[in-house]
Structure 1
Amino acid sequence: MRIALVTETFLPATDGIVTRLTHTIQSLTQKGHDVRVFAPSGSVAMFAGVEVTSLPGFPYPFYPEKRFSWPFPALVRPLLDAKPDVIHAVGPIVLGMGAVLIAKRYHIPLVASYHTHLAVYAKRYNVPILGPVSWFYLRNLHNLADISLATSHAMVRELSEHGFRRMRFWPRGLDHTAFQPQETPEKKRAWPLRDERFTLLYVGRIAHEKDLRAILEPMKHLPEAHLLLVGDGPARAELSMAYASENVTFTGALYGRDLAQAYASADLFVFPSVTETLGLVVMEAMASGLPVLATKSEPTLELLGGEQNGAWFDGAEPSSFIAQVRALSKDDKRLAEMAEYGVLRARHWNWDRATDELIRTYDAAIRLAKWKRAQPERRVGGKPVCAD
């Protein structure tokens, strides 16, 4: 199968979308499929033997290190030259919008996947008018696809409630060779970035929509704990200046073995974000045997398998976080139970199975597009109406 992946973000950027894409590309090529990637300027030219076509772009309003690419006319010819059997628009916003329109214009089967909760981000950045605009825009964009995907059952339900049609679940995967529990408590304590204090870990973008102040403010009252924030992003300089202290450390981004060691060597993973459509870092923490303390959101509850398998705090109440950290730091039995369940649950997440389901989705989109083309043209008020 010839597959064109059109994405708003790709390497060298690091986020959950890129992680999912890189593993998916490797799995697709190993299964014998021909993959091409189309991404904004600044992306790598090649990944795992797959050609990446970069298209001219401009900076995101809130993420100057990331770029939007305007699709016309730059995307049209290279995308058509790839002769894809299916186009997959990954988190379509601007470049992906072009992929959607090209697919419909040239009758190419189309899958779209939802990854960025723009309507929720609009509230975080105090531009609430963009909320309903985002829902309207993304709903209409996704409804042009033969099939749309979301990466959690919770998001499938939410998007369906907002009028998104033909939704499917794209299963989650995890690299179990990279993320594993530390063998002994001695090795855990030997990590250079930790000391004898109760060590909290956050991994992810350092950005305002991640609600990091919900864990940073309470640390002023937790001298017995040490919070490590692993990652980079547009708010790092601001938050580091305001909160870096004796018990709050911004490490910058970590990769590979260094990142795996961070997960395996901390005592508790803390996750304040309620804007996630999945939360890949929560999965990595669970696979590493790291208990999770989080604010409640449907995707996070889904990952943990219910309230009983994690610890929870109210992001609007600093005292809630303080109380949970202090209670958990004294409850080795509870921490061990949470860690053990997380490891067992994470074993079910597999990139190979996730990619097999994605291939079945591509096949279904191809069949559906073929069926639509075979339907007699319907007209309402003299205008043609496409089969839905």
Structure 2
Amino acid sequence: MAKRILMAVENLGMGGMKRAATVVGNAMTEFATVAFYQMADVPSYYELKGRLIPAPHPVMPANGPDPLQTYQQQMTDLADILIEEKIDVVILNAGILTSFIPYLKSRLPELKTIAWMHNNIDTYFNQYYRDMRAEFVAGVKAADVVVALTETDLEGFQTVTNRAIKIWNPLTMPVSGRADLTKHTIAFTGRIAIQHKGIDIMLNLAKKLPDDWQIAIAGEGLPEDMASFERLIKANEVADKIIYRGGLHDEALAEHYRQASIFLATSRWEGLPLVLVEAMSFGLPILSTDNTGAVEILEGGIYGELAAKNADALWYRLEPMLQSYEMRCLLATKSLERAKDFELSAILAKWRDIVA
């Protein structure tokens, strides 16, 4: 009899975590009965192949202290739904939902709980969940399986639990065509989140570009971040170096990658940044800051260029790429080779094993 799986997320808006959760959840419908659940009440940005179960008391959760008190109603609701739907396995994405695990286990001792960690452990412990670290750690310890994305994070979570494993997130978009490596355009894809995505670093780097090169940006942000984005463009005097395309997906995003010669990522921290794999699958050479996720994907610099998190270090790596079409072609070959490692089939097989 097919397992009944619930994929639980805080919200189903746009974002890498939600994209990975929906892609894997949709793929699991090949061998299980899958439903989706979100704490919020927002339209799903992504297609869902399973039923979306509405939250009885929806909230848009925010990280902070005392999650078990703040979201007591939502935690109770989730347990009730797991019982009503006769769920065998629940996959809880990120920290607030992970903190619910001891309570869920108290009500459903036979339930299999999987905590899926989409960011790096240092960011979780010292930034996102700093004010609820005790509850987060208790949830990690109570989980039947903890899924980390990188070797660094696997080692970190193994200091908390002996049930941590590593599974990469898969490539999450279809590939059609190849990048045009003759274009004097550098592609960037990501939320306009100034500190997280290093937007300030990118705009500082843009000042160094030759007159005939530009950075094309695909992504959206909160109003306050968009206002900061506009101010930083003016402060750096780079309006002529930036093409802002807004949020893109499907064919428009594919065209964004095809009409570029280099992919740039400037994040200060990441779990496993799948935009890198997306760009690599189109044959784009990669230049990224050396966050733990990028180091994992690029295997320490074997499959792309890595630099410290500042404009000068990035420029040192970028300038030769701008000047040499041959270098871009060599890096494109490496990108295409590495992207194959993130194809869905092999990754789904690992998920099938742990939900069994």
Q: Which amino acid aligns with 2:201?
A: A
Q: Deviations over 1:146-183 (max 9, x none)?
A: 1111122232123224x24310112332246335424x
1:145 aligns with 2:143: yes
1:309 shift after superposition: 2.5
8 Å contact kept, 2:120–2:292: no
Equivalence for 1:41:
40
Equivalence for 1:325:
318
1:218 shift after superposition: 2.2
Equivalence for 2:67:
none
Separation in 1 of the partners of 2:173 and 2:220? 24
Unaligned runs of 5+ in 1: 63-67, 190-195, 364-388
1:250 to 1:257, Cα distance in 2 relative to 1, 3 A: same
Q: Deviations over 1:348-382 (max 9, x none)?
A: 3222322221121122xxxxxxxxxxxxxxxxxxx
1:15 shift after superposition: 1.3
State the SS of the aligned residue for 1:173.
coil
1:19 shift after superposition: 1.4
1:83 shift after superposition: 0.8
TM normalised by structure 1 equals 0.78
Separation in 2 of the partners of 1:359 and 1:345? 23
Equivalence for 2:5:
3
Separation in 1 of the partners of 2:61 and 2:299? 38
1:266 to 1:219, Cα distance in 2 relative to 1, 3 A: same
1:121 to 1:29, Cα distance in 2 relative to 1, 3 A: closer
Equivalence for 2:186:
200
Q: Deviations over 1:219-259 (max 9, x none)?
A: 12324221112101221232123216011122210010000
TM normalised by structure 2 equals 0.85
Q: Which amino acid aligns with 1:147?
A: V
1:104 to 1:342, Cα distance in 2 relative to 1, 3 A: farther
8 Å contact kept, 2:20–2:172: no
Q: Which amino acid aligns with 2:282?
A: S
**RMSD of the TM alignment (CA)?**
2.7
Q: Which amino acid aligns with 1:85?
A: D
Equivalence for 1:14:
14
Separation in 1 of the partners of 2:119 and 2:273? 11
1:53 to 1:118, Cα distance in 2 relative to 1, 3 A: farther
Equivalence for 2:158:
160
8 Å contact kept, 2:269–2:292: no
1:131 to 1:100, Cα distance in 2 relative to 1, 3 A: closer
Separation in 2 of the partners of 1:353 and 1:96? 26
Equivalence for 2:171:
174
1:30 shift after superposition: 2.1
8 Å contact kept, 1:9–1:17: no
Give 1:221's match in structure 2, choosing from 208, 211, 214: 208
State the SS of the aligned residue for 1:177.
coil
Separation in 2 of the partners of 1:170 and 1:326? 34
1:147 to 1:49, Cα distance in 2 relative to 1, 3 A: closer
Separation in 1 of the partners of 2:331 and 2:132? 37
Q: Deviations over 1:273-309 (max 9, x none)?
A: 1311101101101111011111112321221133232
Separation in 2 of the partners of 1:72 and 1:308? 44
Give 1:239's match in structure 2, choosing from 223, 229, 252: 229
1:312 to 1:257, Cα distance in 2 relative to 1, 3 A: same
1:131 to 1:17, Cα distance in 2 relative to 1, 3 A: closer
1:266 shift after superposition: 0.9
Q: Deviations over 1:110-160 (max 9, x none)?
A: 11111144752787xxxx7x7754554422211111111112223212322
Equivalence for 2:347:
354
Separation in 1 of the partners of 2:201 and 2:250? 28
8 Å contact kept, 2:303–2:331: yes
Q: Which moved more, 1:39-48 or 1:241-250?
A: 39-48
Q: Which has the larger radius of gyration?
A: 1
Equivalence for 1:91:
94
Separation in 1 of the partners of 2:350 and 2:105? 22
1:275 to 1:262, Cα distance in 2 relative to 1, 3 A: same
Q: Which amino acid aligns with 2:190?
A: G
Unaligned runs of 5+ in 2: 65-69
Separation in 2 of the partners of 1:122 and 1:221? 36
Separation in 2 of the partners of 1:228 and 1:133? 37
Give 2:300's match in structure 1, choosing from 279, 303, 306: 306
State the SS of the aligned residue for 2:239.
coil
8 Å contact kept, 1:268–1:291: yes
8 Å contact kept, 2:220–2:246: yes
